[in-house]
Amino acid sequence: MMSSLFPGLLDARYLFWLLKGFGLTLQLSLITIVLATLLGLLVAAAREQRWLAAPCVVYLSVMRNTPLLVQLFFWYFGAASLVPEAWMVWLNTPKSLLGVPWPSFEWLAALFGLTLYSAAFIAEEIRAGIRGVGRGQRAAAAALGLTGWQAFRWVILPQALRIARGPLFGQYMNVVKNSSLAMAIGLAELSYASRQVETETLKTFQAFGVATLLYMFAVVLVQTAGRRRAV
Amino acid sequence: MKTSRGLIFALLALAAGVAQADKLDDIKKAGVLRVAVFDANPPFGFVDGKNKNIIGYDVDVANAIAKKLGVKVELHPTNPANRIPLLTSNKVDLIAANFTITDERAKTVDFSVPYFATGQKFIAKKGLLKQPDDIAKLRIGADKGTVQEITLREKYPNATVVSYDDTPLAFAALRNGNVQAITQDDAKLIGLLARVPDKAKYEVSSFALTQEYQGIGIGKGETRLVALVNETLVDLEQTQQAGKIYDKWFGPKSEAPLPRGAFKIGQR
């Protein structure tokens, strides 16, 4: 074994734990990014409608003005205690849907909480993008005979997304980093795995060092994806 | 000569010391058994709110030993760090203070047979955990970075272990139904359980993953005293007294109910 030659290194078994955690971090982050972007678009669009603006403002301020950790605790511990007991049993029983293993309740709560939180920030980035599109664009679209929705979909939004692209990818990097808070609700992602490896090996520097490198790798990946699309 | 006279005195004193080394006779002569007990560790030893006496499980055991000797008992309040020094400096004759038997301590003191057992146990809904094999099928909550978490994963690699930052959070997850059981030291578990409003729904498992034993601490080499203490303890079990004392402090009607399990005094 490498570890017996170099006692400072982590055993292969523990590196595997960290990689497994990293896989979960990537998976959770990617799905959150997709769902939060869709929800963010909806909220940004809804905010432009007069009668939907007020509920959107409430949602945005609640999500953006409270700590994510508290929100995760709320969904996992708080909201879960309001759900009927039979549902919790069903949610926590291992099963598979169409061959795909049903995810754990920790995973669902983390995805739900992280998506709602991130969508609020993404919605605001998109709205900033929409505001950045010249007023004349909407008027010109109307003059061409486009309806309000058509103007938004085909004229405003493409330009808004172009403006918002940089900040949006910044938010995506935040999603990767914020996913680490899911360890507080027992999700075995990368941070959780690094704590576990540290407990078992007492190799503090190595455990957290490897986790840090993996997070950096993931964030750089998101960053590069953002750059490439900008070309 | 001064030195040789001093030496003789020293030798005489030593001889006297050896002759007196039998603590059992000393106790009987003095008519008092001095016992170190906890005064802030319910239900093992704590101050009674009403009359300010020290009471508890360990105190009852100490009283039984004094009764056997036919002497009065004198309780000396102590804490974990002071237990052994009190005994080695001859301030007390026995330690009865939730004193866990370890190889390390056995180098300094002698132990009686075990009269109490603690261990890593579980809290689950009543009737869910009957035998250790039930664990493998469940989702179990643990505390991150504890010995209990490691032991659980080592002994039950197939169980789903979900770790939380501390025991109250793990307990919240249990009450929500996110996990079906949580694991910790049984003393900690009964403390947790005592405070929750719906405690009637839960119970502490009767089996333990790891077992630790508590014994009476006795001065090194006091074989006759050790034998008498052992005899008293085994008698307590045989006359059904042990179960009664246990139920008084840990029984279903006590403040901190804890199933006694299969443990009997003197067994390992």
Nearest partner of B191 among B40, B43, B37, judged by Cα: B43
Q: Residues of A168-196 as b/e, b for ≥16 C-beta within 10 angstroms?
A: bbebbbbbbebbbbbbbbbbbbbbbbbbb
Minimal-distance CA residue of chain A relative to B140: A186
Rounded to whole angstroms, the Cα distance separating A8 from A216 reads 22
Average pLDDT over residues B29-38: 95
The total of other beta-carbon atoms located within 10 Å of residue B77's CB is 16
Per-residue confidence (pLDDT) for residue B3, from 0 to 100: 56
Asked whether the predicted pLDDT for residue B180 surpasses 70, the reply is yes
How far is it, in rounded angstroms, from Cα B86 to Cα B58?
17
- Yes or no, beta carbons of A195 and B169 under 8 Å apart: no
Which of A88, A104, A195 has its CB closest to that of B144?
Answer: A195
Chain-chain contact of B176 with A199 (C-beta, under 8 angstroms) = no
In this structure, are B148 and B93 located in the same domain?
no
Query: What is the extent of the structural domain holding B130?
Result: 119-204
Asked if residue B100 and residue B28 are part of one domain, the reply reads: yes
- The verdict on B158 and B41 lying in the same domain is no
pLDDT one-digit tens code per residue, B119-137: 899 999 998 988 888 898 8
Whether the CA torsion B95, B101, B105, B111 is positive or negative: it is positive
The terminus-to-terminus CA distance of chain B in angstroms comes to: 57
Q: Please report whether residue B17 resides in a domain.
A: no
CA separation for the pair A160, A170 (Å, rounded): 16
Calculate mean pLDDT across residues B181-208. Answer: 85
The radius of gyration of chain B from alpha carbons, rounded to an integer in Å, stands at 22
Test mutation, A76, A91, A203, chain B, max B CBs within 10 A: A76
- Return the higher-pLDDT residue of B158 and A122: A122
**For chain A, how far is it from start to end, CA to CA, in angstroms?**
46
Q: Does A201 touch chain B (CB under 8 A)?
A: no
Average model confidence (pLDDT) for chain B? 87
Q: Inform me whether the C-beta atom of residue B125 falls under 8 Å from chain A C-beta atoms.
A: no
Chain A interface test: which of B144, B146, B161 (most A C-beta within 10 Å): B144
Give me the numbers of helices (H) and strands (E) for chain B, helices first please: 10, 14
Q: Taking the CA atoms of chain A, what radius of gyration do you get in angstroms?
A: 21
User: Is B165's CB within 8 Å of A184's CB?
Assistant: yes
Other Cβ atoms within 10 Å of A217 Cβ, number: 11
Binned at pLDDT 50, 70 and 90, residue B147 comes out as confident
ipTM higher than the 0.85 cut: no
Q: What is the DSSP letter of B257?
A: -
pLDDT value at residue A1: 47
Residues in A touching B162 (Cβ below 8 Å): 106, 186
pLDDT at B254: 84
Residue B6 inside a domain? The answer is: no
Q: What CA–CA distances, in Å, run from A203 to A10, A61, A206, B150?
A: 8, 42, 6, 16
Q: What does the pLDDT read at residue B12?
A: 55
d(CA A72, CA B171): 17
Instruction: Please report which confidence band the pLDDT of residue B26 belongs to, taking 50, 70 and 90 as the band edges.
Output: very high
Spell out which residues of chain A touch residue B202, defining contact as CB-CB under 8 Å. Answer: none
Residue A49 CB-density burial (10 A; 0-12 exposed, 13-18 middle, 19+ buried): exposed
Q: Which parts of chain A have pLDDT scores under 50?
A: 1-3, 231
Q: Does B162 touch chain A (CB under 8 A)?
A: yes
Rounded to whole angstroms, the Cα distance separating A17 from B112 reads: 45
Same-domain check for residues B125 and B158: yes
Shortest alpha-carbon distance between residue B170 and chain A (Å): 9
pLDDT in tens, B208-237: 888 888 999 999 999 999 999 999 999 999
In a shared domain, residues B37 and B110: yes
Looking at chain B, the whole-number percentage of residues with pLDDT higher than 70 is 92
Confidence check: pLDDT of B70 > 90: yes
Per residue in B53-63, is it b (16+ CB within 10 Å) or e — as a string? ebbbbbbbbbb
Inside any domain, residue B258: no
Mean pLDDT of B160-165: 90
- Side-chain half-sphere exposure of B194, counting CA atoms within 13 A: 16
Distance (Å, rounded) from C-alpha B174 to C-alpha B239?
40
The answer to whether residue B17 scores a pLDDT higher than 60 is no
CATH topology of domain A2-132+144-230: MetI-like fold (1.10.3720)
User: Domain boundary residue among B204, B225, B259?
Assistant: B204
Write down the pLDDT at residue B69: 94
Asked if B141's CB is within 8 angstroms of A196's CB, the reply is no
Domain boundaries along the sequence of chain A: 2-132+144-230
Domain count, chain B: 2
Q: Where residue B142 sits, what CATH number does that domain have?
A: 3.40.190.10
* Amino acid occupying residue A219: V
User: Is B49 at the interface with chain A, CB within 8 A?
Assistant: no
* DSSP single-letter state for residue B196: -
- Do B250 and B256 meet the contact criterion of CB atoms below 8 Å apart? yes
| Per-residue pLDDT tens digits for B88-128 | 999 999 999 989 888 888 989 999 999 998 889 999 999 89
Of B183, B193, B185, B177, nearest to B163 (Cα)? B183
Distance in angstroms (rounded) separating the CA atoms of residues A206 and A6: 12
Contact B173 A195 (CB under 8 A): no
Contact list, B176 vs chain A (CB under 8 Å): 76-77, 80-81, 88
Residue B255 domain-assigned (yes or no): no
Which of A77, A89, A199 lies closest to B172 in CB terms?
Answer: A77
B173 touches chain A (CB under 8 A): yes
Residues of chain B with Cβ-Cβ distance to A103 below 8 Å are: none
Distance CA B105, CA B111 (A): 9
Using the predicted structure, report yes or no on whether residue B169 has a pLDDT greater than 60. yes
What's the confidence (pLDDT) of residue B49?
Answer: 85
Same domain flag for B245 and B188: no
Please tell me the distance from the alpha carbon of residue B223 to that of residue B115, in angstroms, as a whole number. Answer: 18
Higher pLDDT, B148 or A28: A28
